[in-house]
């Protein structure tokens, strides 16, 4: 006598969908943190240029040194510089030449905004205008952390899904084997705890000398749960909770049908 059951299809589908959602959302958050948000800020920086000059921002360099957190130090050094030193001080503090240079202004693109410095001819004017972008560096970091966290859940769910797919129960003359483990012999099975079966679909196999004192058999886990329970009860003489529930439902259906028949007479 051998009765086997693999995993319930519904469980595979539900866990698979959740896994795909987590992996997809994790990838989306990471994309935003590394590419999406920086790209949006770059476009905001470009829009600060006059319309006719925006094409000059194509491929413009972005300087972490021009980030908003560095503005106070840049302004301090800039204010201490002479007119002839201003460009050199800017390039030293920020890390290079302007991202875009126009006839009337120098633009330094940062990751979270830009710095605009006016000029007249070759003379750099003494004002630094800091223009923040919509997305901050904290927004970047938050998306990255969120992506790692949700992505990690997705990877765990992938591992869990493989375990779900490999779910297997087998009732043979040797006893009950779950997921390829050593069979629990029938003489070690003392009773069935079915107190949670009607509401939750869970049956606990109470054992003595088995791998655990209580072994969970979940209707949601096994495609042919009724066959597994029938096999156990056939060998042990326990009352089959699945068969009992089916018989009760059938009796109620017959009673309801008889009531309908009497009401039509």
Residue 45 contacts residue 113 (beta carbons within 8 Å): yes
Given pLDDT bands bounded at 50, 70 and 90, which one contains residue 261?
A: low
Sheet holding 123-132, edge to edge: 100-101, 105-109, 113-120, 123-132
Query: To the nearest whole number, what is the mean pLDDT of the chain?
Result: 94
* Per-residue model confidence as pLDDT tens digits over 59-85: 999 999 999 999 999 999 999 999 899
What is the pLDDT, as a whole number, of residue 265?
Answer: 54
Sheet holding 189-193, edge to edge: 189-193, 202-207, 214-218
Rounded Cα gap, residues 20 and 264, in angstroms: 54
What is the pLDDT, as a whole number, of residue 36?
Answer: 97
| β-pairing verdict for 169-172 and 113-120 | unpaired
* Per-residue model confidence as pLDDT tens digits over 22-40: 999 999 999 999 999 999 9
Give me the residue spans of the domains in the chain.
10-166, 168-260
Residue 24 contacts residue 153 (beta carbons within 8 Å): no
Q: In terms of pTM, does the model score above 0.85? A: no
CB atoms within 10 A of CB 181: 10
């Amino acid at each position: 006598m051998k009765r086997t059951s693999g995993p319930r299809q519904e469980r595979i589908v539900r866990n698979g969908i959740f896994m795909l959602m987590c992996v997809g959302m994790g990838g989306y958050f990471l994309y935003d943190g590394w590419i999406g948000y920086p790209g949006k800020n770059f476009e905001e920086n470009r829009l600060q240029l006059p319309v006719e000059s925006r094409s000059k921002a194509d491929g413009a360099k972005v300087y972490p040194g021009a980030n908003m957190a560095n503005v106070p130090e840049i302004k301090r050094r800039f204010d201490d510089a002479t007119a002839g030193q201003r460009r050199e001080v800017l390039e030293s503090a920020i890390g290079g030449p302007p991202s875009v240079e126009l006839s009337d202004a120098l633009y330094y693109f940062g990751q979270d905004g830009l710095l605009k410095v006016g000029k007249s001819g070759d003379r750099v004017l003494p004002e630094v205008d800091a223009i923040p972008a919509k997305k901050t560096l904290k927004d970047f970091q938050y998306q990255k952390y969120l992506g790692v966290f949700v992505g990690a859940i997705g990877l765990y769910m992938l591992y869990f899904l493989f375990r779900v797919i490999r779910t297997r129960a087998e009732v043979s003359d040797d006893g009950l084997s779950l997921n390829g483990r050593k069979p629990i012999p029938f003489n070690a099975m003392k009773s069935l705890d079915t107190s949670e079966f009607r509401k939750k679909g869970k049956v606990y196999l109470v054992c003595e000398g088995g791998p655990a004192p209580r072994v969970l058999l979940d209707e949601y886990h096994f495609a042919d749960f009724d066959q597994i329970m029938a096999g156990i009860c056939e060998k042990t003489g326990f009352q089959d909770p699945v068969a009992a529930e089916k018989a009760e439902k059938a009796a109620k259906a017959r009673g309801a049908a008889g009531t309908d028949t009497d009401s039509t007479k």
